[in-house]
Amino acid sequence: MEKIHVGIVGGGTVGGGVWQALQRNGPLMAARLGVALEVTGVAVRDPGRARAVDIPRDRITGDWLTVVEDSRNRIIVELMGGTSTAREVVRRALSLGKPVVTANKALISAHGPELFALAAKNGTNLYYEAAVAGGIPIIKAIRESFAGNRLLRIAGIVNGTCNYILTRMKLEGADFADVLADAQRLGYAEAEPSLDIDGHDAAHKTGILASLAHGFWVKPEEIHTEGIRHVSKLDIQFAAQLGYTIRLLGIVQPVAAPKSRSKRAGSAAIQVTVYPALVPNSHVLASVNHAFNAVAIRGDVVGDTLFYGRGAGQDPTASSVLSDLADAVLDLRAGNHHRVPPFVAHDGSAKVAPIDGIVSRFYVRLEVADRPGVFARIASILAQARIGISSIIQPEGHAGETVPVILMLDEATNEATRKAMARIARLPVVKAPPVVLRVENLD
């Protein structure tokens, strides 16, 4: 049987998982592909460190360049993370004409166009299924399975850490800080958690999906990104009372022209956002709990589809890396490195829509002085901004000088709502910054 040698750069959680999975299922892959895979070397930062996965010492090196430049290795797998050294690794491999498999969403998000162009220039390919949603085959679905669809909406839970925290806050009535500390202890959140809880990880992934879906590369700085630090157990409780669950969503969808407000596909402005939102309990995304991911996609031909599974971790991510390895092997055998290009630009006129023009419904929680006439002043500001109020909750039994007031607002632009909230926040009777969350019915 033909044998193809592979070099791996990165021997941590995912790298170790790929090594382990190849030892377990390498013969199965060989039987299915007609080609055997053999890892010649694994480059790591500290060769002397003890590892959870037993990789033979004669396969481990501290020099990634020797792995990449080894003439035996026809495929390079980059699993080290980060965007500096990892970029050097990928660039060097592609410049040698070697296909690269990566799980590095930050690298693809920040430098995708450069790396895709380098791959094309050198007649090779870059595979990155594992960069988004762990073991869920979402890249392949958008790039290949939905090639005949205009994608009308992508709504995804793509960060397991945030979903884990929000799930436990709902199920246990716990505070954000307490659940975050527990998530860090259990390994669901990093010691420095800002990449996850401030929405940046989800933004990297959402930008990649948006780029594939709409044919122009979305830069990370163009994505409106909010995290979940400001979501409290009160918001979770009031959302449940109103029939909603709060989830951190990455949303990609065409924005209708302001005049027509029609929802036709092909609009030049695309919403690409990450923020916590109220999702109706009747929608399937509301029932995605703990560290699981899910991506709901609506196509104009296929209709509604859902992709669900583990979005991170050693084995799910390793599964996607093996899938890309299989594609790379088949492409090498066929002598066609461009069977499915990593990214095809096909809409030069499209652009990311500014957040101020996005129309949403809103949930607002205010802490106000407990005295007559407060609501009239708030309602007056909203009326002047032409923002309607669909419902109000002012719960009883709150002792003290302030009480919470929850407003559900009718559709309005982000700009109008933002300006109205700034005016409301300046009222002497409002005792804390307003908490504002969007409502996504996903109908």
CB distance 364 to 435 below 8 Å = yes
Q: Are residues 414 and 288 in the same domain?
A: no
When the pLDDT of each residue in the chain is averaged and rounded to a whole number, the result is: 94
The pLDDT, as a whole number, for residue 265 is 45
Q: Is the predicted pLDDT of residue 5 greater than 90, yes or no?
A: yes
Q: Are residues 124 and 146 in the same domain?
A: no
Look at residue 350 and tell me if it is in a domain.
Answer: no
The pLDDT, as a whole number, for residue 348 is 78
Look at residue 126 and tell me if it is in a domain.
Answer: yes
The pLDDT, as a whole number, for residue 260 is 44
The domain tally of the chain equals 3
Q: Are residues 372 and 426 in the same domain?
A: yes
Look at residue 344 and tell me if it is in a domain.
Answer: no
Binned at pLDDT 50, 70 and 90, residue 154 comes out as very high
Structural domain boundaries, residue 217: 139-311
Task: Residue 258: count other Cβ atoms within 10 Å of its Cβ.
Answer: 10
Q: Is the predicted pLDDT of residue 347 greater than 60, yes or no?
A: yes
The reply to whether 3 belongs to the active site is no
- What single-letter amino acid sits at 91? R
First to last CA, the chain: 52
Among residues 311, 345, 364, which one ends one of the domains? 311
Which of 205, 219, 233, 351 is the catalytic position?
Answer: 205
Q: Write the Ramachandran bin of 123: left for phi over 0, alpha for psi from -120 to 50, otherwise beta.
A: left
Binned at pLDDT 50, 70 and 90, residue 312 comes out as confident
CB distance 312 to 134 below 8 Å = yes
Q: Is the predicted pLDDT of residue 159 greater than 90, yes or no?
A: yes
- Which CATH number covers residue 36? 3.40.50.720
Q: Are residues 30 and 115 in the same domain?
A: yes
Q: Are residues 172 and 293 in the same domain?
A: yes
Q: Is the predicted pLDDT of residue 128 greater than 90, yes or no?
A: yes
What is the value of pTM for the model shown? 0.94
- Rounded mean pLDDT of 228-242? 97
Q: Are residues 180 and 109 in the same domain?
A: no
Q: Are residues 29 and 119 in the same domain?
A: yes
Q: Are residues 236 and 300 in the same domain?
A: yes
- Which CATH number covers residue 269? 3.30.360.10
